């Protein structure tokens, strides 16, 4: 038999080694190639001091949240007076705190009436009168001040007024005012320092008092409208003066009055001297007042004095 079919033992050793590596030892080779697995470290309990610190932080956070919630609840339940007191004492209000301590706000119903007097060389030329008409009222008053420990005090009053008068007495000394087609529209602003005497307000009941006061200041007025000027009893206005007397006696009507008298139109605006007289009272949260405000000025040969009369009934609240 040829030798090449039966290799020798020395020649068979490499083939046997290859067979073992291919068929018998693949698992061992794979295990040898896989890196060793490092065991996971054991979980040991943290030190007791660390656990106590964590619990303490959680408790402090919970206490702070509870305190904040309680403060929010207290703020929600505080009264309006407590809230205003807290606002007055805050840092942002300090620059104007002295103007708010003692100030008050009021709202209610008022009855207003306008009055316009027009004069020429000291004589009455025309007078127009309005009737009392209701209107909403809103007011803001700065704190009042007293002279020492007396009942006398002072305050500053700012007024804006806009009223209308639609009745005119014809003639000037007539006891009855009538609607003869004339009117006066009056608007004025004024600032009047006022002095007053008060009954109450300085005792144990500061929100119960009655006062009477008077003020003089400066203002600006706008007036416009129409009127019969009846100041002359001779000259060109003599016929109008006599017609006014006949109208008052009822012997002529409005048409004859218009024919004899010239219906004049006026429109004036000017600074002037303002005046104020008032009588007011307060009982806790109820406030009432009667007041007269005016601004007097002169334009050309005529002097104008618009006046506002008012009666107010309002709810009042201290800030």
**Given a cut of 70, is residue 16 above it in pLDDT?**
no
Give pLDDT, residue 91. 67
Q: What is the rounded distance in angstroms from the CA atom of residue 276 to the CA atom of residue 111?
A: 17
pLDDT, position 22: 47
Q: Which residues pair with 283 in a beta bridge?
A: 208, 286
* pLDDT above 80 (res 97): no
Of 216 and 52, more confident: 216
Is it true that domain 102-318 has CATH number 2.40.160?
Answer: yes
Report the chain's mean pLDDT, rounded to a whole number.
78
Quick one: pLDDT at residue 18? 46
Residue 261 has pLDDT above 60, yes or no: yes
For residue 24, what pLDDT is reported? 45
The contacts of residue 79 (CB under 8 Å, 6+ apart) are: none
Q: Is the pLDDT of residue 102 over 50?
A: yes
> 254 pLDDT exceeds 50?
yes
pLDDT band at 207 (very low <50, low <70, confident <90, very high): confident
Q: Is the full-model pTM beyond 0.85?
A: no
Are β-strands 152-165 and 145-146 bridged in parallel, bridged antiparallel, or unpaired?
Answer: antiparallel
Q: Which residue ranges make up each domain of the chain?
A: 102-318
User: Regarding predicted confidence, which is higher, 52 or 157?
Assistant: 157
pLDDT for 259 beyond 60 = yes
């Amino acid at each position: 038999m040829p030798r090449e079919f039966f290799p020798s033992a020395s020649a068979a050793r490499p083939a046997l080694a290859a067979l073992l590596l291919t068929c018998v030892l693949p698992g061992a080779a794979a295990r040898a190639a896989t890196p060793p697995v490092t065991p996971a470290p054991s979980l040991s309990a943290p030190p007791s001091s660390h656990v106590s610190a964590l619990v303490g932080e959680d408790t402090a956070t919970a206490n702070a949240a509870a305190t904040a919630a309680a403060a929010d609840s207290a703020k929600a339940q505080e009264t309006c007076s407590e809230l205003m007191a807290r606002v007055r004492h805050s840092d942002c209000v300090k620059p104007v705190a002295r103007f708010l301590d003692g100030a008050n706000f009021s709202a209610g119903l008022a009855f207003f009436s306008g009055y316009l007097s027009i004069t020429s060389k000291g004589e009455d030329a025309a007078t127009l009168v309005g009737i009392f008409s209701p209107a909403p009222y809103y007011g803001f008053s700065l704190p009042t001040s007293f002279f020492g420990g007396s009942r006398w005090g002072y305050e500053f009053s700012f007024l804006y007024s806009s009223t209308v008068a639609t009745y005119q007495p014809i003639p000037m000394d007539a006891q009855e005012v009538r609607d003869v087609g004339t009117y006066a529209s009056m608007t004025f602003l004024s600032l009047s320092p006022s002095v007053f005497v008060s009954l109450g307000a300085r005792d144990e009941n500061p929100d119960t008092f009655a006062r009477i006061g008077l003020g003089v200041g400066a203002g600006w007025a706008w007036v416009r409208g129409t009127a019969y000027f009846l100041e002359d009893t001779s000259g060109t206005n003599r016929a109008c003066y006599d017609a006014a007397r006949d109208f008052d006696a009822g012997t002529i009507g409005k048409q004859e009055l218009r024919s004899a008298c010239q219906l004049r139109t006026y429109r004036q605006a000017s600074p002037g001297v303002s005046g104020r007289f008032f009588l007011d009272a307060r009982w806790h949260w109820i406030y009432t007042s009667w007041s007269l405000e005016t601004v007097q000025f002169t334009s050309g040969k005529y002097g104008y004095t618009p006046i506002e009369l008012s009666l107010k009934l309002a709810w009042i609240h201290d800030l």
